[in-house]
Structure formats: C-alpha cells, structure tokens
Amino acid sequence: MKLVDHFQYGLNSPICLTWELTYACNLACVHCLSSSGRRDPRELSTDEAKAVVDELQRMQVFYVNIGGGEPTVRPDFWELLDYAISHDVGVKFSTNGIKLDKRRAAQLAATDYVDIQISLDGATAEVNDHVRGPGSYATAIRALENLAEAGFGQPKISVVMTRQNVDQLDEFKAIADKFGAQLRITRLRPSGRGVDVWDELHPLPAQQKQLYDWLVARGEGVLTGDSFFHLSAYGQALPGLNLCGAGRVVCLIDPVGDVYACPFAIHENFLAGNVRSPGGFAGVWRDAELFADLRRPQTGGACASCSFFDSCQGGCMAAKFFTGLPLDGPDPECVRGFGEQALTARSADTTIPRSDVDHSRSAPRNSRTPKGPVPLALSVRPARDCDESPLAGIALPAGT
C-alpha cells in the first residue's frame, strides 16, 4: 500500500493540527473561515489549554498551527507559546500582526521552534484592506518590518487567493523577498463568513489556470498548504499529498475545545467531539464516529469515472459542502467545469449550509450585505451564550 493510501485510512495522531485559540479578533475579514470577532466565554482556560498541549506531547504531535480569531490577543498567548515549545510541541501561528511590535519581534527572534505567518490578502493596501479591513495592510507590513529588524528567520506571508489578487502573485513574491519571508498561498473556501462572499471573491476559471501555471513556473519555495490539489487535474500534479486530509491526517481544535474534521469545516456535521470530554483529544481523534467514517475508503461518487479523479480526488469537502453541492460530486471549482455545472443545476430551494458557530460582531465594521438567497441553517442547535447574530438558530424561508 502506498503511503498516501495509509493516510486515507487515518493515522495514530494527526500530522497537521490546527488549533484556534480564540474567536476574538481585532479585524473582521469578510472571508473569515471561522466567523471570528467576539471572544467566546467558554474558551479553554490557560490550564485547559496546557492540558491539551500535554496531550499533544503524549500523542507526539510535533507541531501545531495556531490561529483564531487573532491568537495573540489572548493575554496568555505568550505563556501558552512557551509552554508548547518547552513540551516538544512546535508552534506555527497565524496573525494579522497586531501585537508584533519591536519588543515581541525581538522575543520571537530569540525563540526556537516558532514559525510565524502574517496574513496578507493583497499586495497593495487597496486590495488587502478591501477584504481584511482598513489599516490591516499597514499593520501586516509593520509586523514584517519589525520581524526583519529583529532578525527573525523567515516568517511566512500567508495569502488567500482571490479574484482580486491573482494578478498580484509576482508582487506578493517581491514583498516576501523584500522582508526575507517565505510566500504561502492558499485557497479561498466558502467557510465561515466566506460563504457570503465566495461568489464575489473566488478566482474565475481563467484565473485558476493562471494560478496553476504560476505555481508550476514559479512555485519553487512557495508553500501552498496542499490546498490547490484540485488544480492538479490541469496536468502535472502539484507538490504535496494531493488528498483531502480531513479527519485522516488533519483536524481542528476550536477555541471552546470542539474538534472538527478540518479548519474549513466548522459546522455540526463535521464536529467529532470536544477535548473536555473524558477521553480528551486523543479519545476524539481515535474513536469519533465521524472520523471513522472519513477513514473508510471513499467511492468518488459522480467523480469516480472521471479520468482525473486520481489527481484531484474530487476536491475539497468543505468547498462542496458550503456551496450546497453533494460531497461525493465535483468540487465547485472543478477545473473541467463540472462544478460550475453542478452550481448552476442547484435548484432554487437548495439550502446552502451555514455554520451554526458565528462570533461575528453584531455590526462588523467590514461586513457586506449578502447577495442572493439568504443562507439557511441546516438544522437548529441550542443557541450559544455568545451567539450575537439575530438570525442564530432561526431558519428563514428560502429565496428571501
């Protein structure tokens, strides 16, 4: 059996674990995958978070990707960072840069086993701030300047590819080079608030080809988080695993300890359990029914007969789910156009699933009015303490 086949049947511990420490965020990016904004009062405490680190150490999870929300706004962020590192759990954290002043930059430059990803979704303030909010470009650049000045070795600039920034790939690379950083580009998913803006922001078919060609020609040393494997059907496979790792080699721990199959799947359908349960995170990873399902051989459904199935594996589960497409059919951005056909074929009363977890501020300063049908909640779950949305838990009639 090939290594990648083993991966499909799941591993003893995840290879790539994302841990969102808080839903609190100083920004309100329109495409936020976790609909962050407000802190959740049930957030894991410092001690609970340390207990999770202890467990990761026992499970030999050698590093975690920490995100949020904005993880650095947690007052105990730096304490947890040190705790993880001193327990053999390396940390890569994603930040908008808000807390990376000269002092923190110097502290981080003196710390081993820490990687930093600065989010930047436009190579110019105009393009970036359109999705990430006013001032966010300047904040990110200032953080990069501080890190470079402190001598922090190779931070990453993390870019979500959109219709507005595909043309800026060379400029992103130039910014990365200027600050001694490594460029990382990832795919926009219709997750979290992204469901509201996906139609407007996701790259057009010609841009997808442009992106693929750029990766093939200039992608040496550019990280992708394996997120463009659906583009491999254009021809040459892109470097990486080229498979959906959800629940198999990847998962997410959210700020309240809920464990989801993947960072882009914060929805009760992909909720496997909670780290506060008696078996802890290890119990969820090993025994969750959802994960057992994901680790069974997948049939490929409508895609199985496609000659490119081996290279794209039907694409991204979350992208399908949050556009209302069946999970065993084509990805909405299928490079052969089957996804577009499937999107067009959705009937007027197709419910677009929406996460029941929403920490957006009631009046996000960078929000937009959703266009088209109002997304529906697939099912009702008890309202949470932190649900600020007036629509929380209420299913609206379609087509309003």
Strand, coil or helix: 24: strand
Shortest approach of another protein to residue 239 CB, angstroms? 5
Amino acid at residue number 236: Q
Q: How far apart are CA 70 and CA 37, in angstroms?
A: 9
For the record, the structure tokens of 115 come out as 């990687």
| 13 in contact with another protein (CB under 8 A) | yes
Residues touching another protein, count (CB under 8 A): 24
* Only segment of 158-166, 238-246, 274-282, 325-333 that touches another protein (CB under 8 A): 238-246
| 251 in contact with another protein (CB under 8 A) | no
Instruction: Please say which residue, 46 or 86, places its beta carbon nearer to another protein.
Output: 86
| 16 in contact with another protein (CB under 8 A) | yes
Q: How far apart are CA 8 and CA 10, in angstroms?
A: 5
Instruction: Please say which residue, 25 or 250, places its beta carbon nearer to another protein.
Output: 250
| 226 in contact with another protein (CB under 8 A) | yes
Q: Which of 76, 90, 125, 205 binds another protein (CB under 8 A)?
A: 90
Residues 6+ apart with CB under 8 A from 397: none
Element (H, E) at 200: helix 194-201
* Only segment of 12-20, 126-134, 142-150, 209-217 that touches another protein (CB under 8 A): 12-20
Q: How far apart are CA 202 and CA 166, in angstroms?
A: 10
Shortest approach of another protein to residue 65 CB, angstroms? 8
Q: Which of 180, 205, 225, 364 binds another protein (CB under 8 A)?
A: 225
Amino acid at residue number 202: H
Shortest approach of another protein to residue 16 CB, angstroms? 4
Q: Which of 180, 205, 239, 393 binds another protein (CB under 8 A)?
A: 239
Instruction: Please say which residue, 188 or 249, places its beta carbon nearer to another protein.
Output: 249
Q: How far apart are CA 370 and CA 381, in angstroms?
A: 23
Pairing verdict, β 271-274 and 258-260: antiparallel
Instruction: Please say which residue, 92 or 361, places its beta carbon nearer to another protein.
Output: 92
Shortest approach of another protein to residue 347 CB, angstroms? 36
Q: Is 27 exposed, middle or buried (0-12, 13-18, 19+ CB in 10 A)?
A: buried
| 60 in contact with another protein (CB under 8 A) | yes
| 158 in contact with another protein (CB under 8 A) | no
| 245 in contact with another protein (CB under 8 A) | yes
| 186 in contact with another protein (CB under 8 A) | no
Shortest approach of another protein to residue 250 CB, angstroms? 7
Instruction: Please say which residue, 12 or 344, places its beta carbon nearer to another protein.
Output: 12
* Only segment of 10-18, 23-31, 132-140, 271-279 that touches another protein (CB under 8 A): 10-18
What is residue 259's DSSP assignment?
E
Instruction: Please say which residue, 23 or 270, places its beta carbon nearer to another protein.
Output: 270
Q: Which of 9, 174, 178, 277 binds another protein (CB under 8 A)?
A: 9
Q: Which of 78, 83, 113, 214 binds another protein (CB under 8 A)?
A: 113
| 148 in contact with another protein (CB under 8 A) | no
* Sheet order of strands, 258-260 included: 182-187, 156-161, 114-119, 90-95, 63-68, 16-22, 250-253, 258-260, 271-274
**Residues 133, 137, 143, 145, Cα dihedral to 10°:** -170
CA atoms within 13 A on the CB side of 308: 19
Of 189, 192, 183, 224, which Cα lies nearest the Cα of 317?
Answer: 189
Backbone angles phi, psi at 90, to 5 degrees: -65, 155
- Map 93-157 to HEC letters: EEECCCCCCHHHHHHHHCCCCEEEEEECCCCCHHHHHHHHCCCHHHHHHHHHHHHHHHCCCCCEE
Q: Which of 56, 183, 223, 352 binds another protein (CB under 8 A)?
A: 223
Work out the widest C-alpha separation in the chain, in whole angstroms: 57
Shortest approach of another protein to residue 229 CB, angstroms? 11
* Only segment of 56-64, 119-127, 269-277, 367-375 that touches another protein (CB under 8 A): 56-64
Q: How far apart are CA 212 and CA 209, in angstroms?
A: 5
Shortest approach of another protein to residue 12 CB, angstroms? 5
Interface with another protein (CB under 8 A): 1, 3, 6, 9, 11-13, 15-16, 60, 62-63, 88, 90, 113, 223, 225-226, 239-241, 245, 249-250
